[in-house]
Amino acid sequence: MITAGIDMGSRTVKVVLIDTAAAGAPSVKKTHLMFPGDLDGDAAADKAYDDALAAAGLRRNDVNAVFATGAGRVMVNFANEKITEMSAGAKGVSYFYPNARTIVDVGAEEGRGIKTDGTGKAIDFAGNEKCAAGAGSFAEAMSRALQLTLKEFGDASLRSDKTIPMNAQCTVFAESEVVSLIHSSTPKEDIAKAVLDAVASRVCAMVRRVGIDKDVVLIGGMVHNAGFVQSLKTAMDIDEVKLPDYPEFVAALGCALLAAEAKH
């Protein structure tokens, strides 16, 4: 049986196709990520889905069920069901890490903590929606100010052992603070660490509201930022944060898995 999961994020559309035909664990058939560019939400969902199907050599008729998640999930007209990011994330993580208890999800526009019951079900969550300060876009804006890519920004942060507190809590105000740090000749790596420490401490405060239990898994775009992962470990005071192989696709995968379960 083939099922699909679609995650309509604020920046990208992610599609995952899975095959649960044989006995045993479902296998991932195809992952596909698309930047919608000028496309409207519903057109972007259609295109991403059809592209993924084409790449897997499938047609829409071959798919038994489609579930959608993400901020723009209402625009996925062809989805059989729409589920929250929390449920999708928790389910997707359980595929990689069955022992996960706390999920930290930091995307472009949102940071949140999810507590799971150990079977892939979300039981509690606390988030920071619609404020750029507690999410990836804060780091992104600051890396632009330093003229570094987000990856370079994270790597630079790892080279710093300084702790500079950032006063500004708002991305817009923080930009001026970063500019004045640049003007006062503060090394880029120290600024990068200050920024990532700030995001990590905000995310961590949110996660503490649901409790921090092992295993802790980080999902969302910030997984690729090594400096952030380090800052997060320090803020949460834990040795290990598990990182899934395809962090962007965790929610879409969770959708596909839930779609498969629903069909059983």
Partner 1 sequence: MIANYGYKDGSGEYYISIDTDKCISCEAGRACLTGCPKGMFETMVDDYDDEVVQIKQQFRRNLAYDCAECKPASNRPPLPCITACTPGAITHSW
Partner 2 sequence: MSEQLNTGDKKPEFWRWQENCWADETKDWRSAKAVTVGIDVGSVSSQCVIVADGELYAYNSMRTGNNSPDSARNAFKGVTEKTGLTLDDVHMVVGTGYGRVNVPFSHKAITEIACHARGANYMGGNKVRTILDMGGQDCKAIHCDDKGKVTNFLMNDKCAAGTGRGMEVISDLMQIPIAELGPRSFEVDEEPEAVSSVCVVFAKSEALALLKGGYTKNKVIAAYCQAMAERVVSLLERIGVEEGFFITGGIAKNPGVVKRIEKLLGIQAMNTKIDSQIAGALGAALFANTLVQKQGPLAPIAA
Q: Which is nearer to partner 2, 71 or 196 (CB)?
A: 71
Residues forming the site for partner 1 (CB under 8 A): 115, 124-134, 169-170, 201-202, 205-206, 208-211
Nearest to 104, CA basis, from 134, 72, 149, 140: 134
Which tokens hold the place of 244?
Answer: 């899934």
Which tokens hold the place of 185?
Answer: 């000749």
List residues bridging with 134 in a β-sheet: none
141 contact, one of partner 2, partner 1, none, CB 5-8 Å limit per kind: partner 2
E-only strand ranges, 91-138: 102-106, 110-116, 122-129
Q: Which is nearer to partner 1, 67 or 125 (CB)?
A: 125
Separation CA 169–CA 36 (nearest Å): 30
Q: Which is nearer to partner 2, 157 or 171 (CB)?
A: 171
Per-residue binder mask for partner 2 (CB under 8 A), 121-160, x = binder: ---------xxx----x---x-------------------
* Shortest Å, Cβ 129 to partner 1: 5
172 contact, one of partner 1, partner 2, none, CB 5-8 Å limit per kind: partner 2
Residue-wise DSSP of 61-76:
GGEEEEEEESTTGGG-
Helix (H) or strand (E) holding 30: strand 27-34
> Measured in Å, how far apart are the chain's first and last C-alpha atoms?
10
Task: Select the span of 73-81, 169-177, 241-249, 256-264 touching partner 2 (CB under 8 A).
Answer: 169-177
* Shortest Å, Cβ 147 to partner 1: 26
State yes or no: cis peptide before 19, omega within 30 of 0.
no
Residues in contact with partner 2 by the rule CB under 8 A: 38, 109, 130-132, 137, 141, 169-173
